[in-house]
Structure 1
Amino acid sequence: MIDKTFLLRTLERLLATPSPSGMTDAVVRLACEILDEIGVEYKLTRRGAIRAVLPGAAYTPKRAIAAHLDTLGAMVKALKPNGRLEVVPIGFWSSRFAEGARVTVYGDTGTYRGTVLPIKASGHTYNKEIDTLPVDWTQVELRLDADTASVADLMRLGVRVGDTIAVDPGTEFGPNGYVNSRYLDDKAGVASLLAAAEAVVRTKAPLPLDVLLLFTISEEVGVGASHILHGNDVAEMISVDNATNAPGQNSSERGVTIAMMDSAGPFDWHLTRHLLALCRAHGIEHSRDVYRYYRSDAASALEAGNDIRTALVCFACDASHGWERTHEDSLVSLARLLAAQMTSAPLFQRDAAPLGPLADFPPAEVQTTPDLSEP
């Protein structure tokens, strides 16, 4: 059902479009172009977050699935006397992964290429001191590919404090299905969501409820889905993001991971169990995990005051916010689960209204009785 070629080509197009938080117009236009190609209607918020809709049999309550288009990046903090640039991160990531990166600086009057380097970069000059620098953004600087040896040179070039810096993704699609690139978080999630939508539209799969496809533009700086829902007709929202493959985690490397809790607290009991049941019913490889240092679009949606059930589903991602790697099998598994969720029966009929009596609230036994179908 999922067109893997479409999914990977979409991912390639997204990764080739720079989109650090605060500079997302180009990737928003690309996402809208892809939605047009699929045949999905959409509208944009003032700043460019996308709210697309797949019409279902019932107008309300709606389902929502959110993925974010923005990525990490950097910004010019200061012009240095040596003609180089002090930089600060956009979003949370380590300067360890910035060292050696090729970047583009987007100035008011032009773009400039350069490389992020440690402030002591030459072993021929600093000897063993190159191995003792702390890992910190104050210990790196940006060398532009231009004749700049002073602040005056930088000013004449047109570089200014506050210019946005996009880091090259370094994308590589391997013959064995592995994908290496910066910013798989969350462009791999976006590609999987678009592939699920493409499959639903192509196969004319009936949807019991309207499904909103939400593409947010400021998740990496904590804003996320706080501004995109608009109203109280959404009953459940799934956030799509990365599963951290690392020691101490239980994330699936080739399948989809259902997050049970992150730093914002537990996800909705009923919605997460519904997604696990869909994985079992459709033979989708999956696992469950808990994340200590993680938050997603779901957290910002709840913090904005939305009374919705939330869940987090994830693709495999090794070395998140660093040198990221995933596998196409995981992306296809994620897309299959999202398509299955879109076409599944409503979780609760009572969720059509924001308020209701106790009589139609789920009985306590649903949470306290063991589920023998869950391995």
Structure 2
Amino acid sequence: MKRLPIDNEYLRDHLLTLLNIPSPTGFTDEITTYVGKELERLGVPLELTRRGAIRATISGDVSSPDRAVVVHLDTIGAMVRAFKDNGRLEVTPIGTWSARFAEGARCSILLDDGRQLRGTILPLKASGHTFNEEVDTQATSWDNLELRVDEFAYSEADLRKLGIQIGNFLSIDPNPEISESGFINSRHLDDKAGVAALLAATKAIVESGIRPPVDCHLLFTISEEVGYGASAVLHQDVAEMVTIDNATPAPGQNSKETGVTIAIKDQVGPFDYHLTRKLTEICEEHEVRYQRDVFRYYRSDSASAIEAGNDIRTALLCFGVDASHGYERTHLHSLRSLAELLALYIQSRPTFLRDREELAPLEGFPEQTLEQDEGEAN
């Protein structure tokens, strides 16, 4: 394995483009097309599921036991729930995020005819000059929000004339900003920063001319934010899968906005012992900065893959995101480290060769208390 240089400008430029493509869960065709065209430009063959999840393949020396790296294209968002007599709109969230972070958000209403209208999500009592202290005491709730449309709309009839329909998607503005110190502030870093890191790692592998020892499938899912992203895009012979998502730097957590955070467990349960250990050893051998963490209120594409009945080893690699699902922040260092680790993992041998068989005898089964050489358990 060789630690490959990562094109930081490529990573940053694609991240900014991805952030500005609306992709709330259920409205992901445009971002699927964008990522698909970039993979084709890199020379990586791909195929799509019916709804637009991407399965690309970096070919290796052998096809089994093959592996997958998965990241999701969809983001949190919202949807028009009802018309209001005052010409405003009731909204409902897509994905799990707090109404607190919706207050004041600028957004686009994605109409059925392709047009976009602009607006702002506001609390029902938004003006201190009118409501005084009630502005601060009203409950944080999606029922206490409304969307103010930037059009002459003062009744339900006015809204209908504009072409607005119940169920129109709302795309929340990302407002990305990269500081001179390398911090990236934006909504939707989850998981578009992960997408950019995987594209950068793929570019590094392709340009190096290195042929991995085994096929690696690059999976880009479209419904992770509602809980079932990787449930329908896996090859049945995939033996191990690494998921890319955001870590959660906060009091009581060991995640950081620098380096890679390797998750040991989330609310669904522990990740695979052997695959996770392998990733930490790669970091130590090749001096990729990392830390370990355990997440309390968290699930990812790994969970949906396992719950769909796939018998695979899973691990979770993360870039650190402060204030996840809100006004998020990460650092370029974390994304570069993640891309470096992904490129190393793609070059590595299978964790266990015996995993090419769905069912195998007891002989050769690994033991967690004994040292195991990479790829040696047949």
TM-score, L = length of structure 2: 0.96
Per the alignment, residue 35 of structure 2 pairs with: 31
Distance 1:243 1:165 in 2: 26
Residues 316-364 of structure 1 deviation map (CA, whole Å, 9 limit, x = unaligned): 1000000000000000000011011000121111011111000021135
Question: Offset at 1:230?
Answer: 3.4
Identity across aligned pairs (percent)?
56
Q: 1:230 aligns with which of 220, 231, 235?
A: 235
Per the alignment, residue 348 of structure 2 pairs with: 344
Q: 1:261 aligns with which of 243, 265, 276?
A: 265
Counterpart of 1:196, as a letter, is: A
Show the 5 A alignment for 1:80-91.
Answer: 80-91=84-95
Per the alignment, residue 129 of structure 1 pairs with: 134
Q: Which runs of 5+ in 1 are unaligned?
A: 370-375
Residues 242-270 of structure 1 deviation map (CA, whole Å, 9 limit, x = unaligned): 00010000013210000000011000000
Per the alignment, residue 213 of structure 1 pairs with: 218
Distance 1:365 1:281 in 2: 21
3-state SS of the aligned residue for 1:245?
A: coil
Counterpart of 1:299, as a letter, is: A
Distance 2:132 2:351 in 1: 63
Distance 1:345 1:230 in 2: 19
3-state SS of the aligned residue for 2:370?
A: helix
3-state SS of the aligned residue for 1:170?
A: coil
Per the alignment, residue 250 of structure 1 pairs with: 254
2:187 aligned with 1:182, yes or no? yes
Distance 2:309 2:258 in 1: 35
Counterpart of 2:252, as a letter, is: G
Counterpart of 2:217, as a letter, is: L
Contact 2:194–2:245 (CA under 8 A) maintained in structure 1:
yes
Counterpart of 1:168, as a letter, is: D
2:111 aligned with 1:113, yes or no? no
Per the alignment, residue 68 of structure 2 pairs with: 64
Per the alignment, residue 169 of structure 1 pairs with: 174
Distance 2:355 2:137 in 1: 58
Per the alignment, residue 203 of structure 2 pairs with: 198
3-state SS of the aligned residue for 1:365?
A: coil
Per the alignment, residue 327 of structure 1 pairs with: 331
Taking a change above 3 Å as real, the CA distance of residues 134 and 59 of structure 1, as seen in their structure-2 partners, is same
Q: 1:21 aligns with which of 19, 22, 25?
A: 25
Counterpart of 1:173, as a letter, is: I
3-state SS of the aligned residue for 1:284?
A: coil
Aligned residues: 367
Counterpart of 2:225, as a letter, is: E
3-state SS of the aligned residue for 1:187?
A: helix
Counterpart of 1:146, as a letter, is: E
Contact 2:59–2:211 (CA under 8 A) maintained in structure 1:
no
TM-score, L = length of structure 1: 0.96
2:277 aligned with 1:273, yes or no? yes
Distance 1:211 1:366 in 2: 28
Distance 1:53 1:89 in 2: 34
Taking a change above 3 Å as real, the CA distance of residues 331 and 159 of structure 1, as seen in their structure-2 partners, is same
Counterpart of 1:75, as a letter, is: M
Counterpart of 2:351, as a letter, is: L
Deviates more, 1:101-110 or 1:85-94: 101-110
Residues 156-187 of structure 1 deviation map (CA, whole Å, 9 limit, x = unaligned): 11111111000100100111110000000000
Distance 2:297 2:13 in 1: 31
Question: Offset at 1:25?
Answer: 0.3
Distance 2:248 2:342 in 1: 19
Per the alignment, residue 9 of structure 2 pairs with: 5
Distance 2:188 2:82 in 1: 25
Distance 1:259 1:234 in 2: 21
Q: 1:142 aligns with which of 138, 147, 158?
A: 147
Distance 1:139 1:295 in 2: 28
Question: Offset at 1:133?
Answer: 1.0
Q: 2:314 aligns with which of 296, 307, 310?
A: 310
Question: Offset at 1:127?
Answer: 1.1
Counterpart of 1:145, as a letter, is: D
Per the alignment, residue 293 of structure 2 pairs with: 289
Distance 1:192 1:306 in 2: 26
Runs in 1 of length 4+ with deviation above 6 angstroms?
none
Q: Which runs of 5+ in 2 are unaligned?
A: 373-378
Counterpart of 1:88, as a letter, is: T
Residues 278-315 of structure 1 deviation map (CA, whole Å, 9 limit, x = unaligned): 00011011000000100000000000000000000000
Distance 2:180 2:256 in 1: 21
Per the alignment, residue 376 of structure 2 pairs with: none
Contact 2:274–2:368 (CA under 8 A) maintained in structure 1:
no
Note the aligned Cα RMSD (angstroms).
Answer: 1.1
3-state SS of the aligned residue for 2:133?
A: helix
Per the alignment, residue 41 of structure 1 pairs with: 45
